[in-house]
Structure 1
Amino acid sequence: MAHSTDDKNFRLPTTLRPRRHAATVTLDLEGRSFTGEQQVELELSQPTQEIILHANALDLGDVTFRAGKDTRKPTSTRAVPVSETVVLTFDAPLPVGQATLDVRWKGRFSEGLRGLYAAGQVAATQFEAADARRLFPCFDEPAFKARWAITVRVPPGHTVLGNGKVVKDEPDGELRRVTFQETELLSSYLVALVVGPLVGTPEETAQGVPVRTWALPEKAHLAKFGQDVALAVLPRLQDYFGLPYAFGKVDQVGIPDFEAGAMENAGLITYREVALLLDPATAPLSVQKRVAEVVTHELAHQWFGNWVTMVWWDDLWLNEAFATWMAFKIVDQWRPEWRMWLDFDAHRASALALDALKSTHPIHGEVRNAGEAGESFDAITYEKGGAVLRMIEGFLGEGPFREGIRLYMRKHARANAVKDDLWNALGEAAKQPVSELATAWIGQSGFPLVSVKVTGRDVALTQRRFYSEPGVKSPETWPVPMVLRYEDGTGVHEQRVLFRESQTTVKLEGTGEVKWLCANGGSTGFYRVAYEKEALEKLAANLGTLAPSERISLLADTWALVRTAQAPVADLLDLAGRFGDEEDEAVLDELVGRLAYIESRLTEGEDQERFRRWVESLLGGGLKKLGWQSAKGEPDRVRLRRAALVRAVGGLARSPETLAEARPLVARMLQGDNTALDANLLDTAVGMVARAGDAALFDELLQRMPKEPDPATQRRYLMALTSFEDPKLTERAQALLFSETVKTQDVASFATGLLGNRTGRDAWWAQLQKRWKELVARTGAAPMLLRRVVEGMGLLRTREHLEQVKALLQANPIPEAQQATAQTLERLAQDVALRERVSPEVSAWLKRRP
Structure 2
Amino acid sequence: PGLKRVDFRTTKPLPTYLIALAVGPLDVVDWVDLPANAVRDRPLPLRGVATAGKGGQLEFALENTDPIVRYLENYFGVEYPYAKLDLIASPEMGTGAMENAGAIMYGDAGILMADNASAEQRRRFGSVHAHELAHQWFGNLVTPKWWDDTWLNESFASWMGFKAAAAWRPEYQLDVITLVQALAAMNLDSRIAARQIRQPVENNLQIASSFDAITYLKGGGVLSMFESYLGEEGFRNGLRKHMQRFRFSVADVEDFMESLAMGSGRPDVVPAFRSFIDQPGVPLADVSMSCGPSGARLSVSQSRYLPIGSKGNPNQLWKLPLCVRYDDNGKLAKHCTLVTSAQTRLDLTQKTCPDFVMPNADGAGYYRFALNGDGWAALMNNFQRLNQKEALSAADSLSAAYQADRLSTAALFDGITRIATSEYPQVAMAPKSELILLHDKVAPDSARPALQSYMRAVYRPRLNELESADLQNMSEAKKIERALFRTSLIEFLALYANDRELQAQLADQARRYIRMDAGEDDASLDESAVDPALSAIALKAGVLKLGAPFAEVLIQRLVASNDAKFRAEAAAALGNTDNPALGDRVRELLLDERLRAREPTTLAFELAKRPSQRRATFDWFKANHEAFIGRLSHFAYRWLPRLGAGFCSIEDRNEVESFFKPLVATMQGADRTLAEVVEGIELCAALKSTKGDEITAWLTEAR
Q: TM-score, normalised by structure 2?
A: 0.92
Query: Which residue does 1:268 correspond to in 2?
Result: 103
**C-alpha distance 221-704 of structure 1, shift in aligned 2 (>3 A):** farther
CA contact (8 A) 2:657 2:674 kept: no
Query: Which residue does 1:821 correspond to in 2?
Result: 674
**C-alpha distance 502-591 of structure 1, shift in aligned 2 (>3 A):** same
Q: Distance in 2 between matches of 1:721 and 1:561?
A: 36
Following superposition, the deviation at residue 709 of structure 1 comes to 4.5
Q: Distance in 1 between matches of 2:144 and 2:344?
A: 38
Query: Which residue does 1:610 correspond to in 2?
Result: 450
Of 224, 227, 243, the residue aligned with 2:78 is 243
Query: Which residue does 1:348 correspond to in 2?
Result: 182
Q: Distance in 2 between matches of 1:286 and 1:277?
A: 13
Query: Which residue does 2:522 correspond to in 1?
Result: none
Is 1:777 aligned to residue 616 of structure 2?
Answer: no
Q: Distance in 2 between matches of 1:834 and 1:753?
A: 23
Is 1:186 aligned to residue 20 of structure 2?
Answer: no
One-letter identity of the residue aligned with 1:553: S
Q: Distance in 2 between matches of 1:653 and 1:630?
A: 27
Aligned residue for 1:702, secondary structure, equals helix
Following superposition, the deviation at residue 759 of structure 1 comes to 3.4
Query: Which residue does 1:442 correspond to in 2?
Result: 277
Following superposition, the deviation at residue 358 of structure 1 comes to 0.8
Following superposition, the deviation at residue 265 of structure 1 comes to 1.3
Query: Which residue does 2:594 correspond to in 1?
Result: 741
Is 1:786 aligned to residue 637 of structure 2?
Answer: yes
Alignment of 1:16-35 (within 5 A): none
Q: Distance in 2 between matches of 1:536 and 1:729?
A: 46
Tell me whether 819-828 or 692-701 shows the greater mean CA deviation: 692-701
**C-alpha distance 259-712 of structure 1, shift in aligned 2 (>3 A):** closer
Q: Distance in 2 between matches of 1:310 and 1:687?
A: 42
Tell me whether 595-604 or 433-442 shows the greater mean CA deviation: 595-604
Following superposition, the deviation at residue 518 of structure 1 comes to 1.0
Alignment of 1:517-536 (within 5 A): 517-536=357-376
CA contact (8 A) 2:649 2:682 kept: no
Query: Which structure features the higher share of strand residues?
Result: 1
Following superposition, the deviation at residue 704 of structure 1 comes to 2.1
Query: Which residue does 2:574 correspond to in 1?
Result: 721
Tell me whether 235-244 or 798-807 shows the greater mean CA deviation: 798-807
One-letter identity of the residue aligned with 1:786: Y
Q: Distance in 2 between matches of 1:802 and 1:281?
A: 45
CA contact (8 A) 1:469 1:564 kept: yes
Structure with greater contact order relative to length (CA < 8 Å, sep ≥ 6)? 2
Is 1:664 aligned to residue 508 of structure 2?
Answer: yes
Residues 690-729 of structure 1 deviation map (CA, whole Å, 9 limit, x = unaligned) = 2122233112221222444443332111111111333332
Q: Distance in 2 between matches of 1:232 and 1:703?
A: 41
Q: Distance in 1 between matches of 2:203 and 2:242?
A: 27
CA contact (8 A) 1:219 1:709 kept: no
Count of equivalent residues = 675
**C-alpha distance 259-370 of structure 1, shift in aligned 2 (>3 A):** farther
Q: Distance in 2 between matches of 1:582 and 1:665?
A: 30
Query: Which structure features the higher share of helix residues?
Result: 2
Is 1:551 aligned to residue 386 of structure 2?
Answer: no
One-letter identity of the residue aligned with 1:237: L
Is 1:477 aligned to residue 330 of structure 2?
Answer: no
Alignment of 1:166-245 (within 5 A): 173-206=1-34, 207=36, 208-245=43-80
Is 1:465 aligned to residue 316 of structure 2?
Answer: no
Following superposition, the deviation at residue 776 of structure 1 comes to 1.9
Of 391, 399, 408, the residue aligned with 1:568 is 408
Of 243, 247, 259, the residue aligned with 1:425 is 259
CA contact (8 A) 2:506 2:537 kept: no
Residues 140-164 of structure 1 deviation map (CA, whole Å, 9 limit, x = unaligned) = xxxxxxxxxxxxxxxxxxxxxxxxx
Q: Distance in 1 between matches of 2:404 and 2:211?
A: 27
- Which structure has the larger Rg over C-alpha atoms? 1
Residues 444-491 of structure 1 deviation map (CA, whole Å, 9 limit, x = unaligned) = 111210001122321111110112353643322111112211222151
Residues 500-525 of structure 1 deviation map (CA, whole Å, 9 limit, x = unaligned) = 11111111223433122211111121
CA contact (8 A) 1:314 1:365 kept: yes
Q: Distance in 1 between matches of 2:23 and 2:622?
A: 39
Q: Distance in 2 between matches of 1:242 and 1:585?
A: 35
Query: Which residue does 2:520 correspond to in 1?
Result: none
Residue segments in structure 2 that go unaligned for 5+ positions in a row: 37-42, 516-524
CA contact (8 A) 1:357 1:469 kept: no
Aligned residue for 1:560, secondary structure, equals helix
Q: Distance in 1 between matches of 2:238 and 2:466?
A: 48
Of 619, 641, 644, the residue aligned with 2:485 is 641
Is 1:399 aligned to residue 233 of structure 2?
Answer: yes
**C-alpha distance 276-742 of structure 1, shift in aligned 2 (>3 A):** same
Q: Distance in 1 between matches of 2:643 and 2:109?
A: 20
Q: Distance in 1 between matches of 2:61 and 2:238?
A: 30
Query: Which residue does 1:836 correspond to in 2?
Result: 689
**C-alpha distance 511-682 of structure 1, shift in aligned 2 (>3 A):** farther
CA contact (8 A) 1:287 1:712 kept: no
Residues 751-808 of structure 1 deviation map (CA, whole Å, 9 limit, x = unaligned) = 11111234333222211111122222221322xx112222232023333322221121
Q: Distance in 2 between matches of 1:221 and 1:347?
A: 33
Of 426, 433, 437, the residue aligned with 1:586 is 426
Following superposition, the deviation at residue 364 of structure 1 comes to 0.9
Tell me whether 499-508 or 578-587 shows the greater mean CA deviation: 578-587
**C-alpha distance 576-248 of structure 1, shift in aligned 2 (>3 A):** same
Tell me whether 628-637 or 704-713 shows the greater mean CA deviation: 628-637
Aligned residue for 2:23, secondary structure, equals strand
Aligned residue for 1:251, secondary structure, equals strand
Query: Which residue does 1:118 correspond to in 2?
Result: none
One-letter identity of the residue aligned with 1:254: A
One-letter identity of the residue aligned with 2:109: V
Query: Which residue does 1:57 correspond to in 2?
Result: none
Query: Which residue does 1:452 correspond to in 2?
Result: 287
CA contact (8 A) 1:229 1:295 kept: no
Is 1:500 aligned to residue 351 of structure 2?
Answer: no
Is 1:765 aligned to residue 643 of structure 2?
Answer: no
Q: Distance in 1 between matches of 2:47 and 2:380?
A: 50
Q: Which runs of 4+ in 1 moved over 6 A?
A: none
Following superposition, the deviation at residue 440 of structure 1 comes to 0.9
Q: Distance in 2 between matches of 1:812 and 1:629?
A: 54
Alignment of 1:594-605 (within 5 A): 594-605=434-445
**C-alpha distance 230-726 of structure 1, shift in aligned 2 (>3 A):** same
Q: Distance in 2 between matches of 1:540 and 1:464?
A: 24
Aligned residue for 1:204, secondary structure, equals coil
Aligned residue for 2:366, secondary structure, equals coil
Aligned residue for 2:14, secondary structure, equals coil
Residues 596-621 of structure 1 deviation map (CA, whole Å, 9 limit, x = unaligned) = 21111122343111111121122222
Residues 358-392 of structure 1 deviation map (CA, whole Å, 9 limit, x = unaligned) = 11111112112344222210111111111111111
Of 567, 571, 584, the residue aligned with 1:731 is 584
Q: Distance in 1 between matches of 2:131 and 2:260?
A: 21
Q: Distance in 1 between matches of 2:21 and 2:230?
A: 41
Query: Which residue does 2:167 correspond to in 1?
Result: 333
Q: Distance in 2 between matches of 1:279 and 1:585?
A: 26
Query: Which residue does 1:152 correspond to in 2?
Result: none
Following superposition, the deviation at residue 321 of structure 1 comes to 0.7
Tell me whether 595-604 or 817-826 shows the greater mean CA deviation: 595-604
Q: Distance in 2 between matches of 1:322 and 1:754?
A: 34
**C-alpha distance 298-673 of structure 1, shift in aligned 2 (>3 A):** same
Aligned residue for 2:156, secondary structure, equals helix
Aligned residue for 2:546, secondary structure, equals coil
Q: Distance in 2 between matches of 1:482 and 1:777?
A: 49
Q: TM-score, normalised by structure 1?
A: 0.76
Aligned residue for 1:812, secondary structure, equals helix
Q: Distance in 1 between matches of 2:215 and 2:567?
A: 30
Residues 240-293 of structure 1 deviation map (CA, whole Å, 9 limit, x = unaligned) = 11111121001121222138821111111122222322225233x333222111
Of 521, 525, 533, the residue aligned with 1:680 is 533
Following superposition, the deviation at residue 191 of structure 1 comes to 1.5
